Chains A and B, each alone.
Chain A
Amino acid sequence: GNSVTQMEGPVTLSEEAFLTINCTYTATGYPSLFWYVQYPGEGLQLLLKATKADDKGSNKGFEATYRKETTSFHLEKGSVQVSDSAVYFCALRPDSSYKLIFGSGTRLLVRP
């Protein structure tokens, strides 16, 4: 079946540190891959996406590359800010499906 596995949090970093949040997936065919972010008290918002192998999604300094050979879509940012503190969800959408399948989420806390 289709599934997403994310690294467990919380991840605690100092401001300006490098961030990696690991995400791997299991899916048949060629799913689309997404990272969503949830700030405290809010709904989820799309951060970035990639729709085919080797695509790189990027937004607000965050990047993730669709790696089909390793079935991964790791989220990276070169220098985090306090305002990046949030919960990050990796998700996939399989071929011919309305369902968006989420990982369990990784909480990021950035300290000044």
Chain B
Amino acid sequence: NAGVTQTPKFQVLKTGQSMTLQCAQDMNHNSMYWYRQDPGMGLRLIYYSASEGTTDKGEVPNGYNVSRLNKREFSLRLESAAPSQTSVYFCASSEAGRKNEKLFFGSGTQLSVL
């Protein structure tokens, strides 16, 4: 049971470099999310996709772009990485985005920007 798969697990970038974090789910879920986790701040929503073909900004979207490539895949792109984007990034999915649904999380990508 793969669930939510994120790649890569670790990445080190230099300031100004770009990269794309990949996420795929095999549960036929409609909704997908990108969160970042920083010490003492819990998880904050970057972007979400309620369904294939739609994306919306979360709490902290600046410096990021997303693509919902198809129902399975939701990628997060950093066009010009900054040290403030050093964080652990989690992708998540849920069946339909209903209020009482649980989210399924990937195992995370640890990103360091030097």
Contact = CB atoms under 8 A, between A and B. Distances in A.
**Pair from one complex:** yes
A44 B58 contact: no
Interface stretch (A11-19, A70-78, A95-103): A95-103
A89 B107 contact: no
B103 interface: yes
Contacts of A31: 99
A96 B98 CA distance: 8
Given A43-B90, A98-B48, A99-B48, A32 B42 contact: no
Interface in A38-93: 41-46, 49, 51, 89, 93
Given A100-B45, A102-B42, A104-B40, A45 B99 contact: no
A52 B13 CA distance: 44
Interface in B73-107: 90, 92, 97, 99-100, 102-103, 105-107
Q: Considering residues A31, A45, A93, which has the most beta carbons from chain B within 10 angstroms of its beta carbon?
A: A93
A51 B4 contact: no
A40 to B, nearest CB: 11
Interface residues of A, number: 26
Interface residues of B, number: 25
A25 interface: no
B50 interface: yes
B43 interface: yes
Closest 8 CB pairs of A and B: A43-B105, A102-B42, A46-B102, A102-B43, A104-B42, A51-B100, A44-B105, A32-B100
Interface of B: 4, 31, 33, 40-45, 48, 50, 56, 58-59, 90, 92, 97, 99-100, 102-103, 105-108
